[in-house]
Amino acid sequence: MLFTSSAVLFLAAFAVAKPAPSKRAAVAFVDPNTDGGRMLTDADGLDGQAGDLGEPLNVIISGLSSADVLTDAGFLNYAQSIGFSFECLGLHLGGPQSANLGDGNGFVNQTVEYRQDYGDEELGTCLESLIGGNHLRVFRQNGTEANTGALFLAVSQEENVAEGHTIVANGYNLGRNALAATAIAGTTTANGVSYTTVAQNLTTLLPAGTAGVNHDIATDGITTLLTVTIV
């Protein structure tokens, strides 16, 4: 098949005009506060407007972790290695929360929510739904302004179903600490994949106290950065 010279020029111009794929930045994360984001989720649908309340993004899975850990399937497997799994029978009650990670995407709904599985990856989260326990929401930093691939987690301990799954007293700090303690206790394994995790506590991302925090529960201002390596 022959092309005229004008057709060749058109195809060449089209090829040049195609946008280049966005490469993931080789950094642990970018502070959402520096570019219009914040380290609290949006729990009430106000998207950062006055009076907006949210849950602290108190754990970050570093963008320098093993690449597979930062994928949807890879993070689920890692979560299962530290005692979390998909929700009871795959069902989710309640609306998703959103977050603005300062990456250019604005407010985006959580990628997924996982619950403590009490040692049973398939049905253990049904027990968490009944009696309460730890749970987490996942948000990915992947916009064009900060494409780090880091996963920002809102972790908290919650009450049982009779209490409407509200957060327990000091539940944000307790949830974060429980997750981190399990992660760094040694090598963790799920479905034949093993991980080592290194933790670092950061104190410059979240203010301590109750300002903007859902349920008026104070936090200590600590965000735990986890770097996860597949071994």
Tens of pLDDT, residue by residue over 48-90, are 887 899 999 999 999 999 999 999 999 999 999 999 999 886 6
pLDDT tens for each residue of 85-113: 998 866 555 578 999 999 999 999 999 99
Sheet containing 146-158, strands listed edge to edge, beginning at the edge strand earlier in sequence: 84-85, 112-116, 133-143, 146-158, 59-61, 223-230, 193-202, 188-190
Least confident of 6-15, 70-79, 158-167, 205-214: 6-15
Helix spans in 18-64 (H): none
Mean pLDDT of the chain: 88
Residue 16 confidence (pLDDT) above 60: no
pLDDT tens for each residue of 142-195: 999 999 999 999 999 998 776 666 899 999 999 999 999 999 999 999 999 999
> Do residues 77 and 5 make contact, with C-beta atoms less than 8 angstroms apart?
no
For position 69, what pLDDT does the model report?
A: 98
Residue 21 confidence (pLDDT) above 50: no
- Higher-confidence residue: 20 or 192? 192
Reported as half-sphere exposure (CB side, CA atoms, 13 A), residue 48 has a value of 14
Taking every pair of Cα atoms in the chain, the longest distance, rounded to a whole number of angstroms, is 74
